[in-house]
Amino acid sequence: MLVVAEVENTDRDRPVDLRSDTVTTPTPGMRAAMARAEVGDDVYAEDPTCRALEERVADLLGTEAALFTVTGSLANLLGVRALVRPGAEVLCEARAHIARAELGAHAAVFGVTSRTWSHPRGLVDLAAVRELLVPDAGPYFVSTAAVSVENTHNFGGGSVQPLDSLRALRELTAASGVGVHLDGARLWHASAATGVAPGTYAACADLVSVALSKGLGAPVGSLLAGPAAAVADARVWRKRLGAGWRQAGVLAAAGMYALDHHLDRVPEDHANARALADRLADVAPGIVDPAGVQTNIVVLDLAAAGIRTGAAEVAERARAAGVLVSVLGPAALRLVTHLDVDEAGCRHAGEVLSTALK
């Protein structure tokens, strides 16, 4: 008989880790679900738990099919590849995850080039996209094949893309024969913040990726969703890249559990992020606009608050006091709330950072 130890994730001996929402550990209930998962060989498409997860996510997003992948970066890589041939370009915001945090994989692996627009919150700028869009550049220049949008936008401070902007982008690209890729790693957060169904956002794109390990507490995994033919082709490329997996139902079960038990609690993380922003804005006016904290990410701008201490030094002071944060730049820090840090933990982090910023 399997016995799963009931270990609380809020152990006060641990640091309060706000570096990312990917640092969560599986809850006892999730571990139990993983242990009892029905499995098969997913390379042969015979893992029933993987199939169930893919069907469920496809249903949530209103797409024909979905593919379970080991990472969000892989889901994005496969999604962009499906829309952009080698030598063509994808347009995206300058700090988009596909441009800044995937190690140049789209260019290195599939020969995809990119151009970018800039927005302080990472949002779609229709005028900029319209100016950049060149669907048929002829034999001398690079043609635009797709536009990629990130919702929510990580380095934009967890900002939510306005639905009207996404629909207008879809209309613009459709008229030009250009595809849309939606990096929805934290699409669940956008939906929780606005009440817009994930499928409504997904309808604005040809292909969409969603993560189970960012905010939902699964230990690993993302999915690429879209038309059945495109997903079937992505399955082939997943294997070609060495990322086919066998009894992956153990991991898919964690994703199913996350959708069952952790999706509805996402607004708690948003409330904790807003409370952190309120606290730090009181201590250091200008460091963050609390009204702009829509989801679970808080980006601190030390320079805007007139703080001369570098971000790395502030982070080290916080670490010494048991609070971990990410350094985004010489004067920028990122805090990400998640299910492993409760309201009390976030209050403690606020107090520690208030001192570290002085």
Q: Is the pLDDT of residue 138 over 70?
A: yes
Domain span at residue 270 reads 16-23+265-357
Confidence label for 12 from pLDDT (cuts 50, 70 and 90): low
What pLDDT does residue 14 have?
85
What pLDDT does residue 110 have?
98
Q: Is the pLDDT of residue 11 over 70?
A: no
How many CB atoms are closer than 10 A to CB 303?
15
Q: Is 112 helix (H, G, I), strand (E, B) or coil?
A: coil
Contact predicate 254/221, CB 8 Å: yes
Mean pLDDT of 64-77: 98
> Do 251 and 331 fall into the same domain?
no
Residue 158 lies in a domain: yes
Mean pLDDT of 228-254: 97
> Do 275 and 299 fall into the same domain?
yes
Q: What is the CATH number of the domain that holds 205?
A: 3.40.640.10
Q: Is the dihedral of CA 339, 340, 341, 344 positive or negative?
A: positive
What pLDDT does residue 135 have?
97
Q: What is the mean pLDDT of the chain?
A: 95
| More confident: 75 or 8 | 75
Q: Which of 229, 262, 295 is the last residue of a domain?
A: 262
Tell me the C-alpha distance between 26 and 220, whole Å: 10
Confidence label for 293 from pLDDT (cuts 50, 70 and 90): very high
Contact predicate 349/20, CB 8 Å: no
Q: Is the pLDDT of residue 2 over 80?
A: no
Lowest mean pLDDT among 3-17, 49-63, 120-134, 319-333: 3-17
> Do 224 and 348 fall into the same domain?
no
Which long-range contacts link 257-260 to residues 24+ away (Cβ below 8 Å)? 257/29, 257/30, 257/33, 257/34, 257/218, 258/30, 258/212, 258/216, 258/217, 258/218, 259/56, 259/57, 259/60, 259/212, 259/216
| More confident: 2 or 84 | 84
**Pairing state between β 207-211 and 179-184:** parallel
Contact predicate 70/245, CB 8 Å: yes
pLDDT digits (tens, 9 = 90+) for 94-111: 999 999 999 999 999 999
Closest among 265, 283, 288 to 351, alpha carbons compared: 283
- CA distances 181 to 194, 283, 311, Å, are 21, 40, 33
Mean pLDDT of 158-162: 98
pLDDT digits (tens, 9 = 90+) for 300-310: 999 999 999 99
> Do 221 and 341 fall into the same domain?
no
pLDDT digits (tens, 9 = 90+) for 185-206: 999 999 999 999 999 999 999 9
Structure tokens given for 286: 């200008």
Q: Is the pLDDT of residue 314 over 80?
A: yes
pLDDT digits (tens, 9 = 90+) for 15-47: 999 999 999 999 999 999 999 999 999 999 999
Q: In sequence order, which residues have a C-beta less than 8 Å from that of residue 249 and are 6 or more positions away?
A: 37, 38, 39, 40, 42, 47, 48, 49, 50
What pLDDT does residue 1 have?
36
Closest among 334, 316, 337, 318 to 326, alpha carbons compared: 334
Percent with pLDDT over 90 in the chain: 96
> Do 229 and 331 fall into the same domain?
no
**Pairing state between β 323-324 and 16-17:** parallel
Chain-centroid distance of CA 92 in Å reads 15
- Amino acid identity, position 339: L
What pLDDT does residue 7 have?
37
Q: Which of 204, 233, 262 is the last residue of a domain?
A: 262
Q: How many residues does the chain have?
A: 358
Residue 8 lies in a domain: no
Residue 7 lies in a domain: no
> Do 204 and 350 fall into the same domain?
no
Secondary structure, 3-state, 68-96: EECCHHHHHHHHHHHHCCCCCEEEEECCC
> Do 249 and 284 fall into the same domain?
no
Q: Is 147 helix (H, G, I), strand (E, B) or coil?
A: strand
Q: Is 174 helix (H, G, I), strand (E, B) or coil?
A: helix
Q: Is 276 helix (H, G, I), strand (E, B) or coil?
A: helix
- What is the biggest distance separating any 2 CA atoms in the chain, rounded to whole angstroms? 67
Confidence label for 346 from pLDDT (cuts 50, 70 and 90): very high
Contact predicate 273/295, CB 8 Å: yes
Contact predicate 136/142, CB 8 Å: no
pLDDT digits (tens, 9 = 90+) for 139-157: 999 999 999 999 999 999 9
What pLDDT does residue 88 have?
98
How many structural domains is the chain composed of? Answer: 2
